[in-house]
Amino acid sequence: MNNELTKTNPIKANKLALIALALLGLFAVISTVNCKRPANAVSDANENGKSNQQAPDTNDTKTAQPKHKHPAFAERIEERTRMVARQIQSRDVNDPNVLKAMRIVPRHAFIPAGGQRYAYADHPLPIGNRQTISQPYIVAFMTEALKLDPNSKVLEIGTGSGYQAAVCGEIAREVYTIEIVEELAKSAKKVLNELGYPNVFVRAGDGYFGWPEKAPFDAIIGTAAAGRIPPPLLEQLKPGGRMILPVEGRLGFQHLVLITKDNKGNISESKIMPVRFVPMTGEVMKPEEESKK
């Protein structure tokens, strides 16, 4: 038997060598394929033949936030601190995000040079074109009523100086603000850009129609008194959203009105407090039956 084995071993050895070479070749091919596969590729697929790898979340985009590098932010800090303590907190505005925003935003930067010394006084101030910058307390009160958070998308009707938009921009992700007086829209945009508010977007136009291509909005704020609530704004308010704006009654009295929309789209309104704002102009001045929907 030993002689027989001796004679047949070379043949078996050759076969074994060929098998080993074939296996080595197959292993090399598999290794090469695996090396060429992207590191984040998914090896298996679901029953529909689609990859189990999840697509990136397109809603996870972040808008650049205020920079606070302009010298105005370092000016008159003590005045803003006193303003918040005496005019705002003392009147029961307590939202920490609102209080922080009111302390940060340099109100004087939004007021013409002649009136800047009164910037932190407890009353509205003229900004030209027969328009005013609202009393600090009213700005804070209306902002608090919106219940903003860092994911909020806000629409403002009546940019004016841009101050209210900046306060909202300190809290919310994005603010879209519309001003019917083109000169004011241009000046507000300039100031907001100089101060570093990349998340506030200004448009010259009639706020009655809102900003439909950016709708729906989590919150809408109006800073000019309308005789009625524009229907397009109600449509652009997201379910679960809140809107606050001054509304003028038949006798000329104005009230801040808070509007909420529930998740089924039902609208609720409540009068909050008497106020006095400049009137909203444009489409809203037409009789209701003549207004464009």
Tens-digit pLDDT profile for residues 158-215: 999 999 999 999 999 999 999 999 999 999 999 999 999 999 999 999 999 999 999 9
Between residues 10 and 149, which one has the greater pLDDT? 149
The predicted pLDDT at position 225 comes to 93
Average pLDDT over residues 71-78: 98
- Does the structure show a pLDDT above 60 at 2? no
User: Percentage of the chain surpassing pLDDT 90?
Assistant: 73
How long, in residues, is the chain?
A: 293
Q: Is 239 helix (H, G, I), strand (E, B) or coil?
A: strand
- Does the structure show a pLDDT above 60 at 20? no
Q: Report DSSP letters for 69-118, one per residue.
A: -SGGGGSSHHHHHHHIIIIIGGGT---HHHHHHHHHS-GGGGS-GGGGGG
The predicted pLDDT at position 292 comes to 66
Span 75-128, pLDDT tens digits: 999 999 999 999 999 999 999 999 999 999 999 999 999 999 999 999 999 999
Angle between helices 163-171 and 136-146 (to 10 degrees): 40
Residue 127 CA neighbour count, 13 Å, CB half: 27
- Is the pTM of the predicted complex or chain greater than 0.85? no
Sign of CA dihedral 73, 79, 85, 91: negative
- Does the structure show a pLDDT above 60 at 44? no
The predicted pLDDT at position 234 comes to 97
Mean of the per-residue pLDDT values of the chain: 84
The predicted pLDDT at position 293 comes to 56
**CA–CA distance, 232 with 225 (Å, rounded to integer):** 16
Residue spans per domain, the chain: 71-290
**CA–CA distance, 221 with 167 (Å, rounded to integer):** 12
Q: Annotated active-site positions, please?
A: 134
Q: Tell the CATH topology of 71-290.
A: Rossmann fold (3.40.50)
Which amino acid is present at 224? A
The predicted pLDDT at position 236 comes to 98
Between residues 90 and 24, which one has the greater pLDDT? 90
Distance, CA of 100 to chain centre = 17
